[in-house]
Structure formats: C-alpha cells, structure tokens
Chains A and B, each alone.
Chain A
Amino acid sequence: MGKLFEKFPDPLARLIVVFLALLVVGVIVVVVLIPKPMKDVEIQWADAVKREQARPVKYAGFHACADCHDKLYETKKTGYHRDLSCETCHGPAKGHTENPEKVKPVIPAERTFCPQCHAYNPSRPRGFPQINPVAHNPLKACASCHNPHDPKPPTTPKECSACHGEIARMKAVSHHVQLECTTCHDAPQRHKISPRAVKPSKPQTREFCGKCHGKDAKEKLAKNAEEKLAKNAPKIDMAEHGEKYVCWQCHYPHSPEVEQ
C-alpha cells in the first residue's frame, strides 16, 4: 500500500486517502443506514399508485348518462354547458348507473349552487355570465328561468326585481305591494341596456303622490284598479302637509310607514 502511494506526489496521496475515507463513509450511509423505501423512488411511486387504485370508483363518466337520458344529452351537447360533464352538477353517478331505481343523482335546486360559477368575481374572464346572487331574482330557483341543460345567452330581464331584488322584497310587504314599479318610475328602454348611464325617473312633484293621497282624490270615481286603490289610500291636505318638500324626502315610498 505504502509503495503504491509513493508513486503519487505527497499532497495527492494524502488527498486520495481523505477522499477515499469520505467515499467509504458516504457509501456506508447510503447503503446501510438509509432505509430502502426512503431512497427508492419506484417504491414511493408504487405506494402512491396502489393508494390511488384502492380508492372506490364513484364517477361513471358522461357517456353513461347518454344511454338513458338521450334527449337531455342531445340538448346539452349544443348548449353553453356542453363542456361540463353531467356529474359536474349531478354529482358522482356510478351508483345510479348500477341501480337506477334505488340510487338517484342529486338535482341541485338551491340558489347557492349556480353562483359557484356565475357569481360576480372580477378574475373571471370578460363576457362570462356573472350575476349578483343577492340581487338577481331573489327567492327564485335558477332553473325556474334558465334551462340548465341549454342555458341561453343572458338577456335583459323584464322584471325590475331581477336587478332590484332588495327593493322588490321590501315593496312586497309594504302598502304599495299592488303598485307596479312603472306607476311611479318611468324606465326608458335603454336603462335595460346601460343601467348606470340611463336611469329611471323619480317623481319630482308633490302633486304626483297627491294623485292618490291628496284630500280630493277620494272624490274621484274609482274606475279601474289603480283608482280603486287610490280611493282607499290615506289622505292628507296637500296645502298644509309639509308643503316645502317632495313627499319621498320624508316617506320612503317602497315601504311607506303611515297607517290609515
């Protein structure tokens, strides 16, 4: 051994010894001290694959639905929800395909379901249909207006309540429940397209409310439904009652608090 090292220059021989010692220590650590599963990537992979394979299969895939629900399948195929699998909304359906009578898939009817995708969120792509679930047709199930298998592109709602849900709910329990929104508000067609740029009118004169609530309104002959309502409305003397102000500056018209 000594003779072998004499062939090398002294510094190299010493370094070789040090490196051999390090190598031996390293090999001992790797071969003996570290347990096999810790360094064998294949074992780690195999464990992961086994773990995944052991999990029960819950989803059937959307082709399975087409066998029985062919009409719905055809409708969805061309609609805006074409890229969604049936099980995205109806949940895992493996059980249903095996036992269609006993196991029924979920039909999401609650109003919290659709907003998972369609609630307003600025990070969603531009043009993606987004609504404010609090104000958008409150209390109604989404499916009552939209066919979930073939949702149409968004159109401007006819009802004011589709956007002004809070006001609609308040008016629904107030004395003005039977009045149409258009009785007091003149809503131009363009308001439906650019709701913030073009706004509906508000009554600007005392005489407007006076048509029903003025003292002389009682005298009128009640011809139609609105006039019948006006006949029973609380009356005030327009000349004496708060003459400086427009009525809605003191009375909130969507829930007028004055009792008869």
Chain B
Amino acid sequence: MNPEFIRTLHDLLPQIQGFIYPNEIEIHWGLLIVVYPYITGVVAGAFILASLVKVFNVREVQPLYRLSLLTALAYLLVAPMALVAHLGHPERFYEILLTPQTSSAMAMFGFVYAWYLMAVLLLEIWFVHRTDMIAWAEQEKGVMRFIHRTLALYSRDTGDRSVAFDHKALKVITIVGIPSAFLLHGYVGFIFGSIKANPWWSSVLIPIVFLFSAIVSGIALVILLYMVLTPLTGGKISMRCVDKAVDFLFYAVIVDFSLEFVDFIHRVYQSEEEIKILSEMVMSKLFASLVIIQVLLGMLVPLLLISLTKIFKRRFSLNEDLRKMVYFIAVILIQMGIFATRWNVVIGGQMFSKSFRGLTTYKMEFAGIEGLLFAILLLALPIIILAVLTKILPPWKEMHGEGVSEGVEVAGS
C-alpha cells in the first residue's frame, strides 16, 4: 500500500473501535449532507402547512399561509447548495442537467427540484401575489415599483375574469403541489432506503419517516417564525391560529414518532446479523444525539408539553402567555430533534463497519467546505433570503389578521 496513505490511516486509528474495513475510516457524507435533508424537509413541511389553507380549507391558519410559502421558497433556494458544495466541484453542477440519467434517483433530483421550484412554488407565489403586486406598484416609486412591475410580468389586469382565474389556478397548483412536496422529500428518503448494503438505512419505512419528520419540522419552523416575526412587525399573535397549527403539529409528531417506533421495533424483532453492532452504536456513539436529543428532547418532551396544554385546557386557556411559552419551547425542541434525526440517519449510517465488528467516529471540521462554519452559514442563509423576500412580498397584513376574511373567501372559493 502507499506509505502516505498508511500514515493518514495511522492518524485516524484512535477514532476506531473494533475491526472496520480500511475504506470506512473516513465518513464521506458529512455535515452538509445532514443539513440537506433538514432543509428540504422544512420546504416540504412548510408547503404542506400552506396547503392546509388552500386545499383543506383550515381557516384558522390563514395568517401562516403566505409566510409558509415564502419560507418554503427561501429554504428551497438553499437546498441544492449543500449538495453541490459537498460534491467538491460546484462549478460543474450543470452537467447533471446536461446528461440526464433517468435510472439514477440522485440524478433525478435536478428534475424533481426544477418541477417543484418552477411549476409549483414560484407559480403559487406568483398567483397569490399578482393582484397585490399590481396594487403595490401603483402606490410605489423607484426601484420597488420596477421590481413589483417586473415580478407581476407587467400585468395590470385586476378584472374579475383574471382574479377568478388566479383563484382557480391556485387551487390546482396546491393540489398538484402536495404530491410534489411528498416527492421532493420522499425521494431523499428513497435514496437512503435504497442502499441495500447499509442496514441502518435499508428500510421501506425510511421515505415515509423522512416525509413525516419533514412535515413536523416545516410546521414547527413556520410556527416559530410566526411567533417571532409577528411581535417584531407590530402585530398581535393570533392564538386561534397558533393553537390550530400546534394541533396539526401534535398529530404530525405522533405519526412521526409512531413510524420511527415501528421501525425500531421491527429492527429489534427481526434481529438480523447487524443488530448487535447497531445497538452498540446507539448505546455508545449515538446515545446523546439519538436517545437524548432526538427521542427525549425532540419528541417526548414536546409531546408532553403540548399534551399538558390539552389536558389542562381550562387553565391554559386562561393564560395565553403561558401557552405561548410552552408552544415556543416545544417548537424549538422539535427543530433540534429533527436536526438530530437527520444527523443520526446520515452520520449514524456511516459509523458502523460493513464487517459488523467495529465503529468509527465522525470528527467534524470547523472551517472548510464540509465544516461547521459553512453549515451554519447554509442554515442562516434561508433566514436572510426570507428577510429579502418579505421585503419584496410582505406577508405582514395577512399575518396580523388583516384581510383574513378575504383570504378565507379565497380559500373557500
């Protein structure tokens, strides 16, 4: 073997426990691949929340509608950055699109992504804001007027026929959007679930678990943003809206938890040859991130907190601030938990050896393209994009409850 390579391996030896194959010393999918499913999950979840208003006609969460669409867009714009940066040659990303490989789930990402961005999200946001943009442009001057005019594609038609078409189109797009959102995130789980050689991933439940954790993280994030942004922009948090959204979050967490629990029981009951090394990994290397953060803090505690508000309904209904605080803590814990879920799947799946006899350790870089700093930047970027988007397409009126009745009509039409 190459002496240089042996020296590199030697430095990595302290991270190994038991027997592992030489090519498993380095974990190839690092922090960026953890960030990627987290971000796409938020996109899918936020869109599902938006569809509650349009398709399922849940009037209470109308204030969250525009915010969740913009959140989905902001996160969707950042989603491929983690992947492309991880590949090491970001400047060559377009080659995936030039030589389409329909038999590769990974290569299909470009098409799923393009469909979701162009045919679903951008169209829906455009139809929602078209008449508003025309109205804004009429009152504005300078750059903002130009931006709104251009974004409205120089349309000035606010006649009944056009508005009616907007509403119809919105409904159709949202209905098409739900399977598209499922596809966008389901395919991430599909890739993990298809890797037969890795028993930590190879499960038909993985795409569905991914999907439900996506819905959980998306709803939780939009609630969090709503609770932070509304007071900052001078509005009052509508507890009716938050209560309803938390209700949906609660059910989604229960489904997500049950699915993961079923997956866990199934693995233990099957007890295939990998069970020993997996249980050792869970009890040693992943104990903090899986047992403590994902299950205990990320699921059980928020479930308990939300349950408390339901069990002691009378007491909590009298004290809005207490309820807000409980919800606030719960959604933050859920975010942490879902991030830990992604971490445990991506990193955990690479920590044990295919020899089933050893474990390795993931050592995170700080700087560098695979490092913590870059990951934090990627996680912060959607918030910055969202800030810009809310400047261009302000959702405040709806969030503050003004024009909601109109929105309800829209939803019901």
Contact = CB atoms under 8 A, between A and B. Distances in A.
B150 to A, nearest CB: 11
A12 B155 CA distance: 10
B153 A18 contact: yes
A14 B155 contact: yes
B169 interface: yes
A14 B149 CA distance: 13
A38 interface: yes
A15 B123 contact: yes
Given A122-B357, A123-B21, A123-B355, A11 B127 contact: yes
Interface in A37-55: 38-39, 41
Interface string A5-32: 0000111101101100000000000100
Contacts of B146: none
Decide if the interface of chain A is mainly helix, strand, loop or mixed: helix
Contacts of A9: 157, 161-162, 164-165
A30 B100 CA distance: 12
A10 B19 contact: no
A122 B162 contact: no
A12 B130 CA distance: 11
Q: A15, A34, A38 — which one has the most chain B CB atoms within 10 A of its CB? A: A15
Nearest to B21: A123
B158 to A, nearest CB: 9
B311 interface: no
Interface string B337-363: 000000000000000000101000000
A41 B169 CA distance: 38
Nearest to A121: B19
Interface string B157-173: 10101101110010000
A11 B155 contact: yes
A183 B97 CA distance: 79
A256 to B, nearest CB: 38
A30 B98 CA distance: 8
Interface residues of A, number: 15
A39 B154 CA distance: 37
B157 A10 contact: yes
B251 to A, nearest CB: 36
Contacts of B155: 10-11, 14
A10 B162 contact: yes
Given A18-B153, A123-B21, A123-B355, A11 B99 contact: no
Interface in B138-191: 153-155, 157, 159, 161-162, 164-166, 169
Interface in B13-29: 19, 21
B98 A38 contact: yes
Contacts of B153: 11, 14-15, 17-18
A39 B99 contact: yes
B336 to A, nearest CB: 38
A34 B99 CA distance: 10
B123 A39 contact: no
Contacts of A12: 165, 169
Contact of B98 (A10, A39, A123): A39
The 3 closest A-B pairs by CB, nearest first: A10-B157, A9-B165, A14-B153
Interface of B: 19, 21, 98-99, 123, 126-127, 130, 153-155, 157, 159, 161-162, 164-166, 169, 355, 357
